[in-house]
Structures are given as structure tokens and as C-alpha cells.
Amino acid sequence: MRGTTAPCPRGQTWTRRWKGRWRNRDDLSWLDFLNRQEYLHLLSTAPGSLDLVPWDADKRRGSYIDLNGVRIFGVQYLGASLPKFFATITDQVADSESAGIDHTIFLLHAGLEGEVPGAVDTLTHNQIAPLRGSVDYLALGHVHKNYEHDGWIYNPGALEACGIEEGPWKRGFYHVQIDTMHNPKHQAHLIENTRRPFYRLAFGVDSTTCPHDLYDRLPPYLAEQAPAQNNSKKPVVELRLHGVLPFDHADLDLEHVRTLVEQAYQPLHVRIKNDTRATEFAVQVTQDVSHEELERNVLRDLIERDTRYRPEAEHWATLMMQVKELALAHSTPEQIVEVLCSLQS
């Protein structure tokens, strides 16, 4: 069945003759091309309508085909309009002449509601239920994860993950055996294909004391989390940093973190998510506190949020207050530097 397929890659303009007709390659999708080469049967509703029509071998198109007592229906991708017109399609399936047909398969580019939160262009169980009386095997394809329902609804999932969040999902393709003399009449076995590894890691920063401490602790963590390499494909890696960052966010070099991940995994792609948060603080204020004391308390508490400067927080607060006063007094840069040097000595 036709999905959201891309046209053949554009290149040098050329045409080819197919049963007396010339077509430009840019007008064809890969499925069109393979269908016209008779490598597959491309099923869809009649052009310009939702009518289900039998396969026409000469025109290489149709909505269903009968193969050795098995009828296979196929409906192309209809997007958001599918729920609106689905009852029309199911009625046609139920009303189709089925003499000599022992098993019916329906290929449908649609997802089932509730399998993936937020997925669009899905059908509800109630909308699909009317097919149960006329279809033995409903083959879905839209949602990228594998799922099955009630021994007749099967969705294999995409052969490859299309996003990091899809990495852990089970997926593959089905090998289906049909024997109409048994109950159930089909056996579907999911075969999981080899695909690119996707690693989603989470590293807590709470126990680190400074940027260099974080950089020293990260490589052993990455080595410990590395799964066994069972294929030659380079992985896609997401590293999420989380927790309370005990130093200034500006001192966290995310590019260096990325480099450490690249050295550990030699990945195809790295995504760094910085979900760390600053330390919380509260300034205790009494009624008789002066403006100068309040300002000093705020500065001291801000400095104490960085573990590197916490032991000397009072000293740094005093230094910042004096620099502020020098600036307000219009002191020259040289005078400010001289005072800073004297306070540091």
C-alpha cells in the first residue's frame, strides 16, 4: 500500500518506456517504480475516490488482490481524513464478494489510539471493530513501535528508530504463516532486525564539587553504562545531566562534555540535555537589618552556592562590596586593581 513515500532521487533527467508510455522518473515514488517493475503489488483506492476495486494486472493498480485463496486489501495513507471516511471503507470490505476466499488480510496505514501518547492520524478500537467480522489479519503501519491486539491486529513498528525516544521500542517485521485448516488460521512471528543502537543516559551532578570533578567522574560512568557492542553501526547517544549543580552554570562546558561522550562511544550523533538546576537559597531578613547588611547577605549566599568558593564566601562578599564602592566613587581601573591586589595579599 502507498504511504508517505518519497520520490526517486532527482538527478540527470531521464525517462523510460513502460507498456507504451513514457514517464519522467521524478513523477515516480520508489513504490511506483517497483510496482511497475512487477516486484510488488501497490494497493490503493481507485484514483480520485475511496472505492475499493480489484487488481488490474494490465494497469498495475487496484485495492485488493486474491492470491491462492487469500484476499489482501490495501488502502493508501489518508492522514487526518481517515477517521472520517473509515466507515465507508469498512462497509466495502464487508460487502465485497468473497467466494473462494479463505483468509482476508487488510493493509492499513494507520495507528491505534493509545499506543503512543500524542500520536496523530489514529483510529479507535471502536472504529476498527466492524472489520473483525470480515478481516482475519489487520496489518497496521504508522506508529513506529510494535504492538498486537486480540490475535488479529498487528503493527510491526518501523525498521529503524526515527528519534532517540524511540530507541528502546521493540520493532521489526512479521513472518506470517497461514493455514486455513487450523484455528487460528495464521501464525505471526515478529522478527527483530538489526538496527542502530540508541543510548539514553542520565548523569547526576549533585555529588560533584567543581567542573573538573564532573569531567573526571563522567568517563568512568560512561564506560560502566556502555552496552556490549553487538553490531558495527555507530550509536546515537543522549546524555542528560540532572540534579543540583554546585557551581555556576556558566562554568559548565557542555562542548567538553560532548567530547567526553564522543571519546567513549565514537557515536554517529550526540545530544546533551542540561536539566541541572542551581542551588536554592533563602536570605533571612530581620526588621532592623541595614541595607548594607542585606546586600552583603545576598552576595554571600550567592557565593556559597558554588562549592569552590563556599569556604571563603565572607571574604569574597567583602571584596565585592568594596569593588562596588570604588566603582560608585568613580575610582580609576588602576586604583581598583591596586585595592584588589592588597585585599588578596
Does the model's pTM come out above 0.75?
no
Residues listed for the chain: 345
DSSP string, 48-105: TS----B-BTTTTBBSEEEETTEEEEEE---GGGHHHHHHHHHHHHHHS--TT--EEE
- Cα(259)–Cα(245) distance, integer angstroms: 20
What does the pLDDT profile of the chain (345 residues) look like in tens digits? 666 555 554 443 334 444 444 455 556 788 899 999 999 999 999 988 999 999 999 999 999 999 999 999 999 999 889 888 999 999 999 999 989 999 999 999 999 998 888 787 789 999 999 999 999 999 999 889 999 999 999 999 999 988 888 888 999 999 999 999 998 899 999 999 988 899 999 999 988 989 999 999 999 999 998 776 666 789 999 999 998 888 888 899 999 999 999 999 999 999 999 999 887 554 555 556 666 777 777 777 777 667 677 777 777 777 888 788 888 888 888 888 887 787 665
In the numeric block, which cell numbers belong to residue 24?
Answer: 519522467
- Cα(211)–Cα(181) distance, integer angstroms: 69
In the numeric block, which cell numbers belong to residue 278?
Answer: 542551581
Regarding beta strands 70-75 and 103-108, do their DSSP bridges make them parallel or antiparallel, or are they unpaired?
A: parallel
Amino acid at 28: L
E strand intervals along the chain:
15-18, 21-24, 64-67, 70-75, 103-108, 111-112, 122-123, 137-140, 147-149, 153-155, 173-178, 186-191, 198-204, 236-245, 269-278
Question: Among 209, 218, 223, which residue's Cα sits nearest to residue 240?
Answer: 218
Position of cell 520520490?
7
3-state DSSP assignment of residue 17: strand
- Cα(7)–Cα(33) distance, integer angstroms: 9
